[in-house]
Amino acid sequence: MTLDPALLSAIASPRRREILRLLWNEELSAGAINAAFPDVTFGAVSLQLRALQKAGLVSVRPAGRHRYYRVERERLGPVGQLLEQMWADALWRLKIQAEFESTRRGPRPRSRTGVKPVCQTLRAVRDERDAQETN
């Protein structure tokens, strides 16, 4: 099995992997995708979507003033199964959040409702893991 370098390059970015996760089970508008990233501008999300589209990992459907994106799962092949396994893992979610914080440019956003610091997320992941081990 040979993997396309463009595919590997596209999924190398934590933000692009998170966009794929958001789109995995449903079609979303560009605005809805942007809303999932409160610390990123719409232009930055648009660039990530364009990179995914160029790699053939997402398709776009224009509808009036909106653009709706959907994952092209067959293009990912066996890599898609690997991504699904990673997304199901609580520690994976923590890793992604830490990568987002470390690659973020500019000033840190002010505290917003629903946005937790990594230490709180780590504590929640640890509590969840401990609860699963006791059951």
Range of the domain at 34: 1-77
pLDDT in tens, 76-118: 887 888 788 777 776 667 777 777 777 766 555 555 555 555 5
Strand partners, 67: 62
Residue 43 confidence (pLDDT): 93
- Percent of the chain residues topping a pLDDT of 70: 75
Query: How many structural domains does the chain have?
Result: 2
Structure tokens at 134: 């006791």
Question: Do 9 and 57 reside in the same domain of the chain?
Answer: yes
Q: Using 50, 70 and 90 to split pLDDT, how confident is the model at 30?
A: very high
Decide the pairing of beta strands 58-63 and 28-29: unpaired
Check residue 7 and give left, alpha or beta (phi > 0: left; psi -120 to 50: alpha).
alpha
CATH number of domain containing 34: 1.10.10.10
Please tell me what DSSP assigns to residue 40: S
Is residue 83 included in any domain, yes or no? no
| Total-model pTM | 0.64
H helices of the chain, where? Answer: 5-11, 14-23, 30-35, 42-54, 73-76, 78-88, 90-103, 118-134
More confident residue, 125 or 98: 98
